[in-house]
Structure 1
Amino acid sequence: MARYVKISCLSAPQLRVDPKTDLQETVELMIRYWERQLEQVLPDNPDIIVLPECCDRPEKSGYPLDRMKEYYRHRGDRIRDYFAGIARRHSCYIAYSAVRELADGSFRNSTQLIDRQGQVAGIYNKNHLVEGERTKGDMLYGKDAPVFETDFGRVACAICFDLNFDELRLKYVGQRPELILFSSAYHGGLMQQYWAYSCRAHFAGSVYTHAPSSIISPVGEIIATSTNYYHYVTRTINLDCEVIHIDYNGAHFRKMKNKYGDKISIHDPGLLGSVIIASETDEFTVHDLIREFGLEPLDDYWQRALAHRCAPGNLEE
């Protein structure tokens, strides 16, 4: 059955604050800053809002590291709790990316997924820090790659430098999230699209304003981006979808459309040899379609092709 999810990704520069500013005032300035940013997307009633990496950190230029740590300690969970209140009042999820201090005094660069009730549904700690985050920022590398269950689907997170490392991506490939939330200070270029296709997942990236925030389909196609004029993007996607290769499946596509018409969609991004099939109705799921027409999902096709290559007599001596 169709599972429509409305996603908003917000691009915003870090707020420049004089380091001499009182820490409580800095927290209040940060909350007012994010109030203004959220006003741009809340009228669209998104199901989830994705924020950029370290979204509530004062702009680092001219802000001493020791003062930054003082700010983190004073801020505590105040800004997270502000976002939790927004999530609760607007019945949406928020991917809140920020540095946080643990009980042992060490820090993590984390995404906290806040649910519609304002509760923390899960925490992802950045697995692949930039070295300076460890050597200067007292942060520890995260080791887990959790996938979170939400009321619309399975969600995974990545943060900035993470996008360069196959180790994390392959963990997600095995866990099959339906949506990857990417909070970042850098865009990543083609790696965003590669992650989406490799994980067979939609990808929602929130990046600072020097690069666009994007929503990407499971075939690596950019669905929507923020622009140089408007530093946010909102788009509805359908998570009841599957990537299907044209080989051995394409002969069924016309029969499917003839029977179900606009109750299904078959989208070809071109050049890839694979399409996205989705159920656009409450009457059946995309997996019902796959069973009815005997379709083979892309990963099953790859596995069958590899097994055939290695079958006795098929591989050169």
Structure 2
Amino acid sequence: MSINAKSTITTTIARILGNILVFILPNKAHQLSENRITLIHKNKNNLNIVERLMRYALVQKLEKIENHDTIAEKNREFWTNNNAIELFKETEETFKTDFLPHCSFIFEILKKELSNQSEQFDTLVEIGTGNGDVLNYLSAEFPQINKFVGIDLSPDQIELNNIKFKSNKKLEFVALDAYDWVKENGQSNTIFVSSRGVLEYFLEQRLQDFLNEINQLGKTFFVAIEPNDVNHDFDTQPETQLYGNEPSFSHNYPHLFKNAGFTLWHFSQKPWFNGGNTQTFVGAKN
């Protein structure tokens, strides 16, 4: 029997068992599926075998959403409420298990790029800072930068971050839409960062407008670490595509950055989450 055949049989059995468990344990099923995005991103390590099977069956049954405005609205609602805080808690260990071993390399390249600049970059802004761990890490990696701003849609998470990192005087956390923050506070000689799933929640036109706005600030750098659909070919498919069960947007990041007037100093991709998605790394400057 081939590997593909074994995989098909395994997933079929998992789906059948999961559906049976959902039927006989309706209260548990409701608890697991109370929020769409939480269900999708729920940390498997925090679930027992029964819950894993139920989660698998529930994810397979999620209603397909095609309308981009509806998707953006639902995702925004999620990231502004308490469900986002719970997800940040569940995925907290990914800073050590994913970011440090698989993503931090691009900041070593950024250091080399900055060393070739005659101007001083005095501010670093993380869009979608979440629990603040990445921003705190970057403040130690770039000691020459005086100000680190973490922006997030969740006021409650920002409050938690201000308590957690109160001893690091270089950090500032703000509960605001990133586009609004840039319009009100953006300035030249700033480095912008998004880490592992932030820009994927922007509508394509809003993301293009956002990058255009940043480009107009003056001298800026941007590091984007964003997931993409593994089947999204940037060379032949410049337009944004839907991907995943959330769903979210697989943007053609090189295309959008270049449209906004940036040049790329880095581009690479790696398999992510067991090959189901691709992690895209973009370094851009103007």
Normalising by the residue count of structure 1, what TM-score does the alignment of the two structures yield?
0.33
Structure (1 or 2) with the greater helix fraction = 2
Normalising by the residue count of structure 2, what TM-score does the alignment of the two structures yield?
0.35
Larger Cα-atom Rg = 1
Structure (1 or 2) with the greater strand fraction = 1
